[in-house]
Chain A
Amino acid sequence: MSEGKSMGRPRRVGIVGCGTLARTNYAKSLPRVPGIVVTAVHDRDPGAAKLVGRLFGAAVRSLGDLCSEVDAAIVATPPGTHYELTHTCLDHDLLVVCEKPFVGRLEEARTLVSLAEANGGTLFVGHLRRTFETARLARNLIATGALGVVRGISMVEGGRFSWEPQSGYVSADPFGGVLFDTGSHTIDLGLYVTGLDAREFAVEVQHVQRDRPEPAHEIRAELRLDLGPSVVPAVVHLSRYKALANRVRVELDGGTLDIPVGPRDRIRLTGSTGSCLLATGAAPADHDDYFVEQWRQIFLAEGSDMFRARNFLGLTAILEAVSRAS
């Protein structure tokens, strides 16, 4: 974002995509972030745009006008449109937040990251679960090296799907299946806590089973993440049909960590002779509080890498490899 656009007044934010997320979590969290104000919204459905515009007291604009009038844009459209819309916003030299899942293909992700870095690195991806206290605790613990090296990751999440997206993308968008929709959260949590989010690796899919072609509602995949000097086996198991364990399990030399995928205040460490709970020391917050923290990291914490797009290339590589595997 150019300096001239933001100095001396709140950052003007535009929302591209006025679906359920904008009406619910965004409406409750963005107004609580100091220094930013939502001034424009855009959606191909004028009614949806009008509704969200009213919630924020923002103007309804065409995409081109929105890009010309704001300092930052949040892209919250169905995932199949992320690449094109994010590209358009970056072309206007904006700070851009692309909702998860970032994009479906690694090549597209690299293009957007390169474009953003050429403009000063202003592309972020919204991955809320990185703000969970349990994610921070697990990441810090693993980073100490006290438990040794990561030997495997299992990322499991399942439950009857109840989100009501306005666009119906979960059954129609090629990147709307459980892998991209829920799995991007679960897999990112696994990569984030192990520190693999910032590493480059090759993905080999050894086995995959899904209920139907993408967008699939249930999937189980066995992978190998080739880091060069070492290989980390990984399992991904996701379902929109039924409850699963809802945890990321990290196998390390010195024990196993179970990290909840939802907001809780404890993780479990299991060793060879028993297990114990490690508490974060903070009660889980309201869901909207995590959104506020995410926005703070993106809009206010200068230099924070937490949500910077280059840290989601490994995730995109996994999503692409699994989605292409048959």
Chain B
Amino acid sequence: MTQVTVIGAAGYVGIELCRELLRRGHQVTAVTRPNGRFLLDRLGVRVEGPEPLTRLVPPEVVINLAYPNRGRVSEYPRRNAELLSMIRHLAGEGARIIHLSTQAVFGYALEYPVVPAPVADRKDYLYVESKIELENLLARVARGNELHIVRMGNVWGPASPGWTAALADKLLFGDVVGVLGADGFSNVTDVGNVVSYVAELVTVPGSSGIQYHHLAEFSDTPWSWWIGRLEARLHVAPVYAAASAFYPSTITEELLASLAIHSPRTMAHQWLAGRFTGSWLRTGVRAMPGWLTSRFGRGEGRPTAGPGRGQPAAPGDAIFLSVMSAKRQFKTVVPAPWTPPVDREAAWQAAARWLDHAGY
């Protein structure tokens, strides 16, 4: 039995992970925001946080799934710093740290080289920047701890809010689910496999330094495979965009595209939400005094397949479509041999059972 503390435990993966850790007989303490407590109460884990953290029972393993996903754009670095401070406080000198991250550190369209190694800080969408920053902060400060950075592909599973549920909603109400003729690699990992792998990491023999892991056991399965099964189950026909939405690869491209916008308000909005323009504007905002930055808007949160807005040109849809037409794979890379317990057919069947239960 291992003492494990899970930060960000009330999220989709977090809850499933707590269940799996308990099933394996570990002692689990969950850390979450106050409004997430009730999600964990029925699991039988000890719930704390986010403050004060008692550290009554020093954990042997600290697993972090949290990331800044709300608040003003100017607050994200501070929230990452707070998260880092919490992880360090809980882990102390000796605990193993397992940090769950995302394939998006290589760009939503995986346009940067996909390697199980550090990724340099760069200008990008807020969520991506923030994820890269937290990986690197941890790598810098966790020198006395064993650190595992686990980057996940697109997390599939029953009721997965980012993908399974969102794709079913899109199909039901006719939002686009991809680009015509551009069927991308799905780079999917099943939630059952994620929690199984992370639970294995809790008890593997100790190693030194930092290890990077990539999880996407169905990376070579095209999106059409998942969409095809969903459409057959829901008895609906999918809608595809005729062309890919604009996904900028340089700031020049982004600025040139914005010249086509005639309304100053729309242009300002586009810049704020833009990949590179938004990043530079955020840098400027953070240099301003606090009373001024409080006037700037909130972050866009975690962009996934979330509710469609019927306007494929919107930035969130451009990100979604770039993921759905990804030409590159995010392959599983794990340091030791591992057999995922959930195969592709089982992953689909579990989702299909949830579709029935959920009223689709």
Contacts and interface: CB of A to CB of B under 8 A. Distances in A.
Interface stretch (A46-54, A114-122, A259-267): A259-267
B165 interface: yes
Of B33, B158, B164, B309, the most chain A CB neighbours within 10 A belong to: B309
Contact of B358 (A164, A243, A277, A284): A243
B338 interface: no
A117 to B, nearest CB: 38
A160 B358 contact: no
Given A245-B172, A245-B358, A262 B39 contact: no
A284 B159 CA distance: 24
20 contacts: A156-B358, A159-B165, A160-B12, A161-B35, A161-B39, A162-B35, A168-B34, A170-B35, A237-B359, A240-B39, A243-B164, A245-B358, A247-B172, A264-B175, A264-B307, A267-B173, A268-B172, A270-B235, A277-B173, A284-B309
A162 B159 CA distance: 16
Interface string A144-162: 0000000000101011111
Contacts of A168: 34
B38 A164 contact: no
Given A164-B35, A237-B359, A241-B39, A159 B173 contact: no
A68 interface: no
Given A154-B359, A159-B161, A245-B360, A268 B173 contact: yes
B9 to A, nearest CB: 12
Interface of A: 154, 156, 158-165, 168, 170-171, 211, 217, 237, 240-247, 249, 258, 260, 262, 264-268, 270, 275, 277, 283-284
Contacts of A240: 38-39
Contacts of A171: 37-38
A323 to B, nearest CB: 18
Nearest to B309: A284
Contacts of A244: 159, 358-359
B140 interface: no
Interface in B45-101: none
Interface string B171-215: 011110000000000000000000000000000000000000000
A284 B310 contact: yes
Nearest to A158: B358
Nearest to B298: A24
Contacts of A246: 169
Interface in B1-60: 10-12, 33-35, 37-39, 42
Given A264-B173, A266-B173, A268-B174, A160 B359 contact: no
Nearest to A245: B359
Interface string B224-267: 00000000000110000000000000000000000000000000
B235 A283 contact: no
Interface string B304-317: 00011111000000
B168 interface: yes
A243 B159 contact: yes
Contacts of A154: 359
Given A246-B169, A258-B172, A258-B173, A264 B310 contact: yes
Nearest to A267: B173
A159 B35 CA distance: 14
Contacts of B309: 283-284
Contacts of B38: 161, 170-171, 217, 240
Q: Looking at chain A's contact residues, is the secondary structure mostly helix, strand, loop, or mixed?
A: loop
Given A156-B358, A156-B359, A246-B169, A283 B34 contact: no
Nearest to B358: A244
A12 B235 CA distance: 52
Contacts of A277: 173-174
A241 B161 CA distance: 11
A164 B69 CA distance: 14
Given A156-B358, A160-B12, A262-B307, A211 B42 contact: yes
Nearest to A165: B35
Contacts of A162: 35
B10 A283 contact: no
A237 B33 CA distance: 26
A163 B35 contact: yes
Contact of B161 (A160, A249, A262): A160
Nearest to B236: A275
A247 B359 contact: yes
A209 to B, nearest CB: 12
Nearest to A249: B359
A266 B310 contact: yes
Nearest to B70: A162
B306 to A, nearest CB: 10
Contacts of A242: 158-159, 358
Given A168-B34, A245-B168, A264-B308, 20 more contacts: A160-B11, A160-B12, A171-B38, A211-B42, A242-B358, A243-B159, A245-B169, A245-B172, A245-B359, A246-B169, A247-B359, A258-B173, A264-B310, A265-B310, A268-B173, A275-B236, A283-B310, A283-B311, A284-B309, A284-B310
A160 B10 contact: yes
A163 B309 CA distance: 21
A78 to B, nearest CB: 14
Nearest to A159: B161
Contacts of B174: 266, 268, 277
A275 B172 CA distance: 10
A240 B40 CA distance: 12
Contacts of B33: 164
B207 to A, nearest CB: 34
B13 to A, nearest CB: 11
Nearest to B166: A243
Contacts of A163: 35
Given A217-B38, A275-B236, A243 B161 contact: yes
A260 B360 CA distance: 12
Nearest to B158: A242
